[in-house]
A and B are shown apart, each in its own frame.
Chain A
Amino acid sequence: MTGSLQDKSARLRMLARSGIWISLFGGLLLPWSIMLAVEILLRDVPLQRAWRSFTLHLFAPGYNLFLVGLLTALPFVILAASILFHLGTAPAHNILIAHRRAFGLFSAALLMVLIAGWIHIDVLIHPDAQGALAYFYLPILLLMVLPLGYGLGRGLAKLFLPRVPL
C-alpha cells in the first residue's frame, strides 16, 4: 500500500473505532443530556437541583429515566454494530468503498440523532398523558431510519465522492 493509502486507511480505522463508542455512549447520553438541558435552560432549574432530580428519577416508577435512555440507546447499539461489521470489514485497499460506507453510516447516525433529539425535546416541552408512548415508538422509528439514512448517505457519496484511482 502507498503511504497515502495507509494514511487514509488509518484515518478510517480511527473513525470506525471512535464511531462505535460515540454511537453507543452518544445514544445513551443523548436523552439524559436533553432532559438536563431542558430543565436548566428552559425551566431555569439550577444545575445542582436538576442533576439531583435527574438521579433521583433514574429508577423511580412512573419516570424510569434509565430505561428511557436505554430504549433510545438500543438503535444506536445496532448502529455501533453496523459500524463494527460494515465499516470495520471494508477492504483497506479500496478506500472508495470504505468512504462510501462511512458516509452512509454517518448519514444514518446524523438522521437518528436529529430525530431522537427532536422527539425527546418535543416530549419534554409539550408533556401530556400519551407523551411517554413516544419513548416506546422512538426505537422502532430509529431502526427504520437507520437503513434509510444509510441509503441516502451512500447515494450522496456515490454522486459526490471523487472516483480517484487508488
Chain B
Amino acid sequence: MTAASPSQNILSSREIRLHLLGLVLVLGFLGLWYWLSTGARAVPTLIELLKDDDPSTRIVAAEQLGHIGPAARSAVSHLVSQATQDGSQHANSTAAAALKSIDLTAARGVMTYFLPHLHDPDVQQRRTACAVIGSLGPVAKPAVPALLVAARDADALVRRNSLIALSAIGIPSQPIGAALLDGLRDSSSLVRQTAVAQWAFTVPLSQEAVAVLTPTLNDPDKSIATLARTALDKPRAADAAHIGSLGIMLAHASARDYALHQLAQLGPAAGEALSPIVSLLEDEHPLIRYLAVETIGGMGAAGQPALPVLRRHRDSDPVVQAAVTEALRAMESAAAAAPSSKEASP
C-alpha cells in the first residue's frame, strides 16, 4: 500500500514551482492586457468609443487616439466628424487636439471649417470656433489673423477664448504677444486674468511683456497680481540657460513638443539649439517636423546653417512640406536682404 508521504515543508517543492508558475502567468496576463489595450492595437476599440452616446466617453477616446499619434490614422474621419459635428464643445476640442498629433492635413481641414464661424452672429458659435481652433495648436497658424480680430470681439468670452487660442498657437510670436499685451488692458477682469495666465504658463516672456506686466503686480485683483508674479519669475525668452534647457528637453519624447513649441516662439534666439532642432526634421511625428521647420524658419539669419538641409528635405506630409517652402522663402529673402543692407550702410 502506498500513501502520499507528507511533505517535509509546509509546501512541497512541486507546489512551490506550480505557484511560482501561476504568479508568472498572472503577471504575464496583466502585461498582455496592457499591451493589447494601448498603442495602435487599441485603435479599433477607441473608434467604437467615439460613437458612444456619452460625451465623456467620446472625449476620453479622442484623447487616447491623439496620444497614439500617427498610428491612429484609421480614426481620422471619425475624429474630423467629432471635431466639427459633435454637440459638445469639449468633444470638438479634444478631437481637434487629437488630429494635430495624427494628421496635419485633417487638422487644417478642421481649422478651415471653423474659420467662418469666428464671424458667426451667434456668440456661442464664435466661442466654440476659438476654442476648437486653439486646440489645434501651432498647426492653426493660418488662423492667427482671424483670431486677432476675434480678440477684439464685443463678447468677453470670445475675447478670452481667442487669447487662449492665440497663445496655444504661439507662432508668429510678435502679433500674438501684442494681442496678449492688449488683453492685459481689457475692460473685463476675466480677459485680463486670461492674458496674464498665458504669460505665466504658456508663452515665453519678452522684454516688452516684462515692462507691461510689472505694474500688474499691484493689480487690485489678487489673482491677477499672483499670476503676474509667476510670469515675472519665469526665465526670460532670451535667457541662454533657458534655451539650453529647452534644447536638452528636445531629446526627451515626453517634453519634445513643448520644448519645440517654446523654441518656435523665440525667433533668432532659438538658433542656439539649431543642431538638435535640425535632427527633428526626420521625426516620425508630423507635428514635430512641422514645429522644427517653423522654428528654423523663425530664426532668420541664425537658421542659415540649416538652409541646405531644408532645401533637400522632401516631406511626406503636405502641411510640413508647405511650411518648408515658406521657411525657405523667408530665409532666402532674409539672406538676400542682409548683404544689400550691409552695402547700404556706410
Contact = CB atoms under 8 A, between A and B. Distances in A.
Contacts of A21: 22
Nearest to A14: B10
Interface stretch (B52-60, B201-209, B306-314): B52-60
Contact of A13 (B11, B27, B33): B11
B8 interface: yes
A6 B3 CA distance: 15
Contacts of A70: 30, 34
Contact of A59 (B19, B20, B38): B38
What range describes how many residues of B lie at the interface?
Answer: 20 to 34
A91 interface: yes
A90 B20 contact: no
Contacts of A61: 63-64, 67
B37 interface: yes
B16 A77 contact: no
Contacts of B42: 59
Contacts of A77: 23, 27
Given A58-B37, A59-B34, A88-B11, A20 B64 contact: no
Contacts of B20: 81, 84
Interface in A53-71: 53, 56-62, 66-67, 70
A129 interface: no
Interface residues of A, number: 36
Contacts of A1: 6
Given A91-B9, A92-B9, A66 B34 contact: yes
A88 to B, nearest CB: 4
A84 B8 contact: no
Contact of A16 (B6, B10, B22, B30): B10
Given A52-B57, A66-B34, A85-B16, A12 B63 contact: no
Nearest to B68: A61
23 contacts: A9-B10, A13-B11, A16-B11, A20-B19, A21-B22, A28-B30, A52-B54, A52-B57, A56-B49, A56-B60, A59-B38, A59-B64, A60-B63, A66-B33, A66-B34, A70-B30, A77-B23, A81-B23, A88-B10, A89-B9, A89-B10, A90-B10, A92-B7
Given A88-B16, A89-B9, A92-B10, 11 more contacts: A1-B6, A9-B10, A17-B19, A57-B60, A61-B67, A62-B63, A77-B27, A84-B20, A84-B23, A92-B9, A93-B8
